[in-house]
């Protein structure tokens, strides 16, 4: 296990969430599934925790009841190299979830994600302040990020 691993608290959907994420990210795998025993507090045999890996990043998830919910204060950033990747991750992660502005979404479990093309950071970091301003203004009008529209704004079209 790596030194720092994101740990996710679910009411009772840790295994379902793990399987959902595994179906979306390549190079992913199940780690360990632990079950509650006689001591509870959940029913004996139900999933207590799962470990899994998404494209090289380790995660742990716990089924511990409805005490805590996810907020936008924490999100997972998905760096995409192409519009095809943006489309894939945006479409899959937002299934039965909530789409928001500027590449942000909440999945069906309430976990926040940012699906962002690497080109956006390069354009926003351009030395020409007019170019970066046009890109920022274009991005602020988007839900799912559109690389072609960003490029048009960058080019002044």
The phi and psi torsions of 94 (rounded to 5 degrees) equal -90, 0
Helices (H), 94-146: 118-124, 129-139
Q: Is the pLDDT confidence value at 139 over 90?
A: yes
CATH architecture of 1-69: 2-Layer Sandwich (3.30)
Mean pLDDT of 80-100: 98
CA–CA dist 52, 152 (Å, integer): 39
pTM over cut 0.85: yes
CA distances from 155 to 67, 126, 130, 151 (A): 49, 12, 10, 6
Q: Do domains 1-69 and 70-157 have the same CATH topology?
A: no
CATH 2.60.130.10 correct for 70-157: no
Name the token pair of 112: 């926040």
Distance in angstroms (rounded) separating the CA atoms of residues 70 and 61: 13
Beta pairing partners, 75: 112
Q: pLDDT exceeding 70 applies to what percent of the chain?
A: 99
Q: Please say if the pLDDT value at position 1 is more than 80.
A: no
Q: Residue 118: which of 73, 82, 152 has the closest Cα?
A: 82
Give the pLDDT band (50/70/90) at residue 144: very high
When pLDDT is cut at 50, 70 and 90, the band that residue 2 belongs to is confident
pLDDT at 42: 86
Cβ-contact 35, 50 below 8 angstroms: no
Average pLDDT over residues 58-69: 95
Domain boundaries, the chain: 1-69, 70-157
């Amino acid at each position: 296990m790596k030194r720092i691993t994101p740990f996710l608290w679910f009411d009772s959907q840790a295994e379902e969430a793990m399987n959902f994420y595994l179906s979306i990210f390549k190079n992913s795998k199940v780690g360990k599934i632990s079950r509650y025993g006689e001591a509870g507090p959940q029913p004996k045999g139900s999933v207590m925790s799962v470990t899994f890996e998404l494209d090289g990043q380790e995660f742990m998830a716990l089924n511990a009841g409805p005490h805590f919910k996810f907020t936008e204060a924490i999100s997972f950033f998905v760096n995409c190299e192409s519009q095809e990747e943006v489309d894939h991750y945006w479409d899959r992660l937002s299934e039965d979830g909530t789409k928001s502005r500027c590449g942000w979404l909440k999945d069906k479990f309430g976990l926040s994600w940012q699906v962002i093309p690497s080109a956006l950071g390069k354009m926003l970091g351009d030395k020409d302040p007019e170019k970066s301003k046009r890109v920022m203004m274009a991005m602020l009008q988007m839900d799912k990020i559109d690389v072609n529209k960003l490029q048009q704004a960058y080019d002044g079209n």
